[in-house]
Structure 1
Amino acid sequence: MIHPEAQIRTVEVIRYVTPLREGGSLPAIVEADDDFLYVLKFRGAGQGVKALIAELIAGELARALGFRIPEIVFAVLDPALARTEPDEEIQDLLRASGGLNLGLHFLSRALTFDPILNTVSARLASQIVWFDCFITNVDRTARNTNLLMWHKELWLIDHGASLYFHHAGLNWEEQAKKPFGAIKDHVLLPGATELDAVDAEFRQILTPAVIQSIVELVPDEWLVSDDPSGSVAERRRMYSGFLESRLAHSEIFVKEAQHAKARI
């Protein structure tokens, strides 16, 4: 479980290595000043810092629940790196992403999870399905699993599409209590037979203190980047409130997942 005083390391990007063009927001592999490679999520990409906020919050929630998640770091990018890039699209992205971005440790030689070739226990399948219902993650389908096999273990990646209520300005109090219809397309739903047991377990782990400590990790500048007039404290309360309320009403999304599974 994450400690309330946990911190995210900060690194400086020293080299743009290669784009990962399968990602809609054009993430890239970069090298940082600690000599490690990271998958960098850019603040200047299409969904802006809200995708980074979702990536950070969801990723650390997953870590608190015991899932394998690549280390998340804050990555400082100097837009001057754009000068060495011949691709104009990449140049524009680097210039638009100066400052604090988000990186995930690059899992070298990891293989994409294949539901036909790779088996997952009913327990783990149920845990991941529950988690994706909780964070409203629409991006864990057979077409794009966002799961990797690394050293024969399953790793969760790419959570920028979760917490989608904040992209459309939706009322978070209403959204927190809604079922998650997209769960019907989840790649692991067929094997998720232990949702009730997982629900009881995870509700005990995700205390308000754990949720609030994770939300506190979000940089102030990300919280007000799209609306400087907004209050940082209010934004933090929004994310904490959404997650705490969703957890309190977890039976709604658990039943939705169970009904969706019954229809397979």
Structure 2
Amino acid sequence: MLEKIWWKKSPDVEEKTLSFRVDEVRQKIVPSHVAIIMDGNGRWAKQRNLPRVMGHREGMNTVRKITRFANRLGIRVLTLYAFSTENWKRPRFEVDFLMKLPVEFLSTYLPELIEENVRVEMIGDFSALPSHTQKAIKNAMDATATNDGLVLNFAMNYGSRLELVDVVKAIGEMTKNGEIRPEDIDEALIESKLMTSHLPEPDLLIRTSGEIRLSNFMLWQLAYAEFNFTDVYWPDFDEECLLSAVEDFQARCRRFGGVNEGIGALNK
């Protein structure tokens, strides 16, 4: 009878395996735009008897790791749901901490983002953010404006319903001023007024922590995105998790309302 031999892979072996899978993924159709609802920071901290804010800080480190790996995979846009319009309802201390995280993240990792050719962008109500948060984000956007690699798009103080209300108001004003007629309103016009009008629609949505809902995130843009829900809390979400989500995406058949078309067929 053969005895099982248990062994642990060395970091070099793990990296070689990961690199092989990355090469395999890049030979197929990689999602151009990946959107992530980063969830589970508080529960991650609670499991470790830590304050909730420590989960948010660890989640910040995950942002850095996933941004670098998304760039490596060839993803063109990474949109991260960092703070929703509803998150203001959280305790004041937690909100204040969350508003300081972009300052800490961007002041620490901006040189690395520039080196990686990453362009920082943001969607959401910028004007309602504290001045120190605004300053950090604007500085990062200005410093990376000419970069043409991965777009790291933070959804800060963002809510999809509010975005759509603003679109309706803008189109209503155009109609009122005689710039367009009601019959001129179509999907293309609506999309041109969205905060993401200059970006491709998300191909893949990932939500961590086991929750299965959109939470007022990119309701229009996600109409034909593939969804991937994982029980992993955001601070534990690593390169393997993202790679597995992309591999799962590549195995699916995207029809966009048609028949026998899609990513799975094209990859074969």
Larger of the two Rg values belongs to structure:
2
Say which structure is richer in helix: 2
Q: TM-score range by the shorter chain?
A: under 0.3
- Normalised to the residue count of structure 1, the TM-score between the two structures is 0.28
* Structure ranking higher on relative contact order (CA contacts 8 Å, 6+ apart): 2
- Normalised to the residue count of structure 2, the TM-score between the two structures is 0.27
